[in-house]
Structure 1
Amino acid sequence: MKRIFIITMSLMTLALPSMSQSAPKWTKKVKKSIFSVMAYDKDSTLLQSGTGFFVSEDGNAVCDSKVFKKAHTATAIDYKGNKYPIDLILGADNAYGLIRFHVDTKESEPVKTVDQTAVKEEKVWTLAYSADKPSFTSALIDSVSHIGDSISTNCYYTLSKAPETKFYGCPVFNADGEAVAIMQPSSGEKGFALDINYIKNISIQAIGSKADNIILNDTDIPKGLPESMEESLVYLYMKSRTASNSEYIGMLDLFISKYPNNAEGYFRHATPMIDTYQFDKAEADLNKYYELSEEKDKALYNISQTILSKLIYQPEPAYDKWTFDYALEKINQAISLNPSLENKLMKAQILMSKKDYASAYDCYDEINKSKDRSPATLYAASVASAGRGDSIDQQIALLDSAIAIFGDPLPAEASEYVLKRGELYNKAGKYKKAVLDYNKFCYLCNNKVNDRFYYDREQIEVKAKMYQQAIDDINLAISHAPNVALYHAEKSGLLLRVNMIDESIKAAEKCIEVDSSYVDAYRILGYAQLQKGDKKSAMENLKKAVEMGDTTAQQIIDKYMK
């Protein structure tokens, strides 16, 4: 009986939880490196908590990424109960469910790590945060494998038993109190741990993986920057297209604090200042950018371009200091330092935006008389020529020169030049030449044009008395956009013009079917019915047009129906 009692007591001892085991002597020392992470939503309601541990003396730490899921803010609580805000997320790793972050504390004691790999059968201890007695569990290492391949320096450990979930993401120590791994989620009866040195791979990447970005985007806590200045600039560029103004400004502020002598940071900071109407701050940013820039002419170019963009795309609210003349002043300074083509083109662009077409034309003309002449500068000169009131023939001549530079056969990029010339031919009353250019444009685009193009060409073809081509084009417009009433009305009127009365009536009726409020359709239908001799139907539709406000319909009634 006594023997049975002893065996039973032995089994009970084995079954006791890990807390009943004596804690290693070094737990008092390492507890300074371990803390509780409390994550909250925007209403300061606790979402979840877990254990984090310091990995550097300046507050960098690691824990299970699930702790930060949907978090708006987070706090670290150390072994003394002191609370510190977690101010930045420094990276995430979706493969192993870890997140790296920064605790806003004056000093931190990191866990001591070793480069030496733990070995099979070695005993290890995992520690979680606890306000009083140490919370730990121990296990033996069953096997050691390398991550990815045998060349990898990082190892993955299989442990003799699975830990409680509270230990996920906690540091794993050897007998000397040195951190060798990070506990991973278990599967079945075995536990798993990731080499402690793997944390060196966890950082914000300029172009991060989709999987890692899922973790980063799933928390509202501000994000840090990649480790290098060059990668940080790439990262900022990528984020400028997706981040909110407040989030982007925070990233830029962080960049400037980290790299106060980098001119690019101040230049980029000016953009969200403009977007948020903080124009004085934007001006200060641009001045600092110029001060720190090594290439002053490029800085002046960028400043003038920034001012011009604000004037064009965000004219209100106005910033009195930023005018077209101020932008001109900056680009003229740039030209005095470097009379490059880029600077001269910026000056011409500013003058065009100012509607000083004569001065803009002079800028383009100077370029077009030099080796820098191009189709684009000749095209721009044509637009400036129109602005200053020159003849259409002069505008066309400039486009002829632009198109000639492309050579024969014309490439696809010449299409817009050809179309613009066709528009000018139409304006000059040279309709057949206009149609030829529209045809050439369509060819250069491989016939990939829309309904509006066919309608516009049809309008010119009617003026050129090219009626069959016009009918073909209006039908093409309708085939691309069958629910546009204008096209059906235009078709009806065109068919009426060439005395295709029955077809005209059908087209007008289709127009009314598409849009019963389209008044022109009733007038054209009534007039077509009148031509066919159906005066009763004609009168009904003409009166309908009159009731809808069409004065021409009344004139038809007065002339033909009385």
Structure 2
Amino acid sequence: MKKLLILPLLLVFFAQWSMAQTPKWVEKAKRAVFSVVTYDKNDKMLNTGNGFFVSEDGLALSDYSLFKGAERAVVITAEGKQMPISTILGADDMYDVIKFRVAITEKKVPALVVAQTIPAVGADAWMLPYSTQKSIACVSGKVKEVAKISGEYNYYTLSMQMKDKMVSCPVMNLEGQVFGIAQKSSGLDTVTTCYAAGAAFAMSQKISALSLGDAALKSIGIRKGLPEAEDQALVYLFMASSTLAGEDYEKLL
């Protein structure tokens, strides 16, 4: 009889302990994570995945693989709202990251803050999955290793079990800021180890004057943004005038 009573008590204890370990910011932060659906030239579903907002006006990050071959794409928020992706703003196929803008249908959207500091080895980390449920769902772990990529940016190895369909979900620090984007992984170590490209690296992706020849960007049919600098944008337009078809060039203008 005592054993029968102890088991429910233990289950209650572990449930309370789990909730205590979940940071308070998770409930708000998970609203910035969305589902992405991409479509091919025949308007058939191409891929589904995840992404998240990094600004309240619709700037967002995801994985490049999700968009390769896509002619259009939409995001579906945690509240079930569907919004189209309007422009691609940069991509890197080697580290599988992409930056884009969503044509938001409201004044502002929930967004994550990109961490400005590098988490130390051994620091706590949380991965937030896309969810339409009210319950808090996240995976916790530790930063196992930090490596440099592209000079000033970082790539992370995490002591964390990555669940199915969590590619491109945000990896958060103790303060509730995003420092990484969950990457596809394979091999025997995936039970206890996963990887993340630095969110700051993904944010650094941009359209330059020479982006018309970028193979990664050319494989995406969704409209590209112009370079932010005026002189770069003018060079981009000049080069586009001799490489794009008339109709495409008109759309660009």
User: Which category describes the TM-score, using the shorter chain as reference length?
Assistant: 0.7 to 0.9
CA distance in 2, matches of 1:94, 1:43: 24
Where structure 1 has 5 or more consecutive residues not aligned to the other structure, the ranges are: 1-5, 11-20, 253-562
Report the residue type matching 1:76 in the other structure.
V
Preserved contact between residue 124 and residue 140 of structure 2 (Cα < 8 Å): yes
Check the 8 A contact 1:162/1:186 in 2, yes or no: no
Q: What letter is aligned with 2:69?
A: K
SS in 1 for 2:215: helix
1:82 lines up with 2:91 in the alignment: no
Is 1:198 equivalent to 2:206 in the alignment?
A: no
> Is residue 123 of structure 2 the alignment partner of residue 122 of structure 1?
yes
In 2, Cα distance between the equivalents of 1:192 and 1:209?
A: 30
Secondary structure class of the residue paired with 2:31: helix
Q: Tell me the equivalent position of 1:239.
A: 240
Partner of 1:221, secondary structure, is coil
Q: Contact (CA 8 Å) 2:142, 2:158: kept in 1 or not?
A: yes
Cα–Cα, structure 1 residues 233 and 135, in superposed 2: closer, same or farther, change >3 Å? farther
Q: CA deviation at 1:51?
A: 0.9
Matching residue's letter, 1:159: L
Question: Does the C-alpha gap of structure 1 residues 44 and 192 become closer, same or farther in structure 2, counting only changes over 3 Å?
Answer: same
Which letter maps to 2:230? M
Contact kept? 1:127, 1:134, Cα under 8 Å: no
Residue type at the aligned position of 1:96: Y
2:148 and 2:212 mapped to 1: Cα distance? 22
Provide the residue aligned with 1:145 in structure 2: 147
Q: In the alignment, is the contact (CA less than 8 A) between 2:76 and 2:82 conserved in 1?
A: yes
Query: Corresponding residue for 1:25?
Result: 24
Identity of aligned residues (%): 37
Q: Which runs of structure 2 are paired with 1:336-415 in the superposition (5 Å)?
A: none
2:3 matched residue in structure 1: none
User: Retained in 1: the 8 A contact 2:171–2:179?
Assistant: yes
Unaligned runs of 5+ in 2: 1-5, 11-17
Letter in 2 for 1:110: A
Question: Does the Cα contact within 8 Å between 2:139 and 2:161 map onto a contact in 1?
Answer: no
Question: What is the alpha-carbon root mean square deviation over aligned residues?
Answer: 2.4
Cross-structure match for 1:228: 229
Output the CA distance in 2 between the equivalents of 1:200 and 1:43.
31
Question: Which amino acid is 1:66 matched to?
Answer: S
- Whether contact under 8 Å (1:69, 1:218) holds in the other structure is yes
CA drift at 1:95: 2.0
- Displacement after TM superposition at 1:209 (Å): 8.9
Q: Deviations over 1:371-422 (max 9, x none)?
A: xxxxxxxxxxxxxxxxxxxxxxxxxxxxxxxxxxxxxxxxxxxxxxxxxxxx
Shift of 1:164: 3.5
Question: Quick check: 1:136 aligned with 2:138?
Answer: yes
Aligned to 1:363: none
Find the counterpart in structure 1 of residue 13 from structure 2. none
The residue type equivalent to 1:99 in the other structure is I
Q: For 1:195 and 1:233, locate their aligned partners in 2 and report how far apart those are by CA, in whole Å.
A: 31
CA 1:135–1:49: 2 relative to 1, 3 Å: farther
Matched residues in 1 for 2:70 and 2:100: separation? 13
Normalising by the residue count of structure 1, what TM-score does the alignment of the two structures yield? 0.39
After TM superposition, the structure 1 = structure 2 runs for residues 10-89 of structure 1, keeping only pairs within 5 Å, are 22=19, 23-89=22-88
- Greater share of helix residues, 1 or 2? 1
1:266-305: CA deviation from partner (whole Å, max 9, x where unpaired): xxxxxxxxxxxxxxxxxxxxxxxxxxxxxxxxxxxxxxxx
Report the Cα offset of residue 62 of structure 1: 0.8
Match of 1:441 in 2: none
What is the DSSP-based 3-state SS (H/G/I as helix, E as strand, rest coil) of the residue aligned with 2:114?
coil
Q: CA deviation at 1:226?
A: 1.0
The answer to whether residue 105 in structure 2 is matched with residue 103 in structure 1 is no
Per-residue CA shift, 1:512-555, capped at 9, x if unaligned?
A: xxxxxxxxxxxxxxxxxxxxxxxxxxxxxxxxxxxxxxxxxxxx
**Which amino acid is 2:170 matched to?**
P
